[in-house]
Homo-oligomer: A and B are copies of this chain.
Amino acid sequence: MTELDELQRRMHATYGERDRRRGIPATVAWLAEEVGELARAARKGTRDDQLHELGDTLAWLASLANQLGLSLDDAFARYANGCPRCGSTPCTCRE
């Protein structure tokens, strides 16, 4: 069971120095590329492809959060009590 904080720590240990050298715009570009690969895998990939691209997208998202000095756990707190717009679980916002 991986916690969000642990996920960020692992990414920092593995790629922190590279991330710093690369800079935020290049990390955003990589994240966008991974989302593209995930979109393709969702449309026509195998289960393994989809799992692979979900992992890569999550990894780059954690790298970006690290570079911004922000916590994914704090970021997700908006969703802790249901939908951040209507406040309900399940969400009752108009579609």
A75 and B62 alpha carbons, distance in the complex (Å): 13
Per assembly, the copies of the chain total: 2
* With A1-B4, A3-B3, A65-B54 as contacts: A90 and B16 at CB distance below 8 Å: yes
A80 and B16 alpha carbons, distance in the complex (Å): 15
* 13 A-B interface contacts by CB (under 8 A): A2-B3, A4-B4, A10-B80, A24-B42, A24-B43, A28-B38, A31-B35, A51-B74, A52-B78, A54-B72, A55-B75, A55-B78, A57-B61
Q: Contacts A2-B4, A28-B39, A32-B35 given; 8 further ones with Cβ under 8 A? A: A4-B4, A14-B83, A25-B43, A31-B39, A54-B64, A55-B77, A55-B78, A56-B78
